[in-house]
């Protein structure tokens, strides 16, 4: 016990990195005369898990779509630390300056996006294995054996029954579909995953297992993630830090346990006191 500290290894690499992976700067989006979200600024660092919480209509899903370049910003910009084909980092690039093709490439390689409804994130007319292999094929991989091996590996990694590899996702349960969606996203080893209410459509017992898996994966793969959720327990379990949104604005942000145990803003206090066990 005396020597535990002396014999311990170096802290995980990347944790003390001073270069953000993604930087939101005054991000805003207007639908008609009304701003769905506005003035959102933050830096996200490699391996950092950020939860964006708020009630429906708070603008959190719009924000996620802006950050993931699925919607163009009306105000401000989103910057990302692109890496080139050899994996070298090149500093922050404004996503609006990228060509459409380049943005698609980014979204298919270095990013993942886990949809609330797995059907929106899966191809329902091809097998589970083909779903996992799709990104690799899009990157030019054609070797059947290798694709299948990768699919098996990632199905195992997300604790899916590998004997179901040739079945259509429609035959999977809701929890399995969500796992398949995650595997499909992770196969290219992204550094950042966006998640939109990833567990909210699932039974509670299935939810717990999936959250547990997501916690393990983000830690082991040193994944950065931005998770939109209305469930404070999900934020508590997965996120290092949080943004609380109301009426399109960030009203409080900070370390997850600080924000949940000692909320400062009246609305955050209301949110935290309204749940049974955050």
Partner 1 sequence: MNAVLAAEKLGKTFTLHQRGGVQLPVFRGLDLQVTGGECVVLTGRSGSGKSSLLRCLYGNYAPSGGSVRVRHDGAWLDLTTAAPRTVLDVRRRTLGYVSQFLRVIPRVPALDIVAEPLRQLGIAADEARDRATRWLARMNLPERLWRLPPATFSGGEQQRVNIAHGLIAAQPILLLDEPTASLDADNRRVVVETIRVARDRGAAIVGIFHDDEVRRAVVTREFDVERFRL
SS3 call for 43? strand
Residues 33-52 that bind partner 1 (CB under 8 A): 45, 48
Residues 248-277 that bind partner 1 (CB under 8 A): 254-258, 261-262, 264-266, 269-270, 273
3-state secondary structure 101-159: HHHHHHHHHCEEEECCCHHHHCCCCCCHHHHHHHHHHHCCCCCHHHHHHHHHHHHHHCC
CB neighbours of residue 12 within 10 Å = 10
Binding to partner 1 by residue 8, rule CB under 8 A? Answer: yes
The least CB distance from residue 42 to partner 1, in Å, is 10
Q: How would DSSP label each residue in 204-260?
A: HHHHHHHHHHHHHHHHHTT-EEEEEES-HHHHHHH-SEEEEEETTEEEEEEEHHHHH
CB nearer partner 1, residue 89 or residue 269: 269
The least CB distance from residue 117 to partner 1, in Å, is 24
CB nearer partner 1, residue 49 or residue 118: 49
Binding to partner 1 by residue 84, rule CB under 8 A? Answer: no
Site string for partner 1, 188-217 (x = CB under 8 A): --------------------xx-xx--x--
For the chain, the first-to-last Cα distance in angstroms comes to: 34
CB nearer partner 1, residue 65 or residue 241: 241
Which stretches of the chain bind partner 1, using CB under 8 A? 1-2, 4-5, 8-13, 15-16, 45, 48, 208-209, 211-212, 215, 219, 237, 240-241, 254-258, 261-262, 264-266, 269-270, 273
């Amino acid at each position: 016990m005396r020597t535990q500290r002396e014999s311990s290894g170096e802290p995980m690499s990347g944790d003390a990195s001073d270069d953000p992976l993604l930087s939101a700067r005054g991000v805003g989006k207007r639908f008609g005369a009304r701003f769905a979200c506005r003035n959102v600024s933050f830096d996200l660092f490699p391996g950092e898990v950020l939860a964006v919480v708020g009630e429906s209509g708070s603008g959190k899903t719009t924000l996620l779509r802006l950050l993931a370049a699925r919607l163009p910003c009306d105000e401000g910009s989103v910057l990302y630390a692109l890496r080139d084909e050899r994996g070298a980092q090149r500093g922050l690039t404004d996503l609006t300056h990228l060509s459409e093709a380049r943005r698609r490439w980014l979204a298919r390689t270095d990013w993942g996006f886990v949809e609330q409804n797995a059907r929106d994130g899966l191809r329902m007319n091809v097998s589970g294995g083909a779903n996992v292999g799709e990104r690799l094929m899009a990157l030019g991989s054609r070797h059947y054996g290798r694709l299948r091996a990768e699919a098996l590996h990632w199905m195992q990694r997300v604790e899916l029954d590998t004997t179901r590899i040739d079945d259509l996702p429609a035959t999977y349960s809701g929890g399995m579909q969500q796992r398949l969606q995650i595997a499909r996203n992770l196969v290219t080893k992204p550094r950042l995953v966006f998640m939109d209410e990833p567990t909210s459509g699932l039974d509670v017992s299935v939810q717990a297992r999936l959250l547990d898996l997501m916690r393990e994966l983000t830690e082991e793969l040193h994944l950065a993630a931005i998770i939109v959720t209305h469930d404070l327990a999900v934020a508590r379990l997965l996120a290092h830090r949080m943004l609380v949104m109301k009426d399109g604005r960030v009203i409080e942000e900070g370390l997850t346990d600080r924000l949940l145990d000692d909320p400062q803003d009246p609305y955050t206090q209301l949110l935290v006191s309204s749940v049974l066990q955050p």
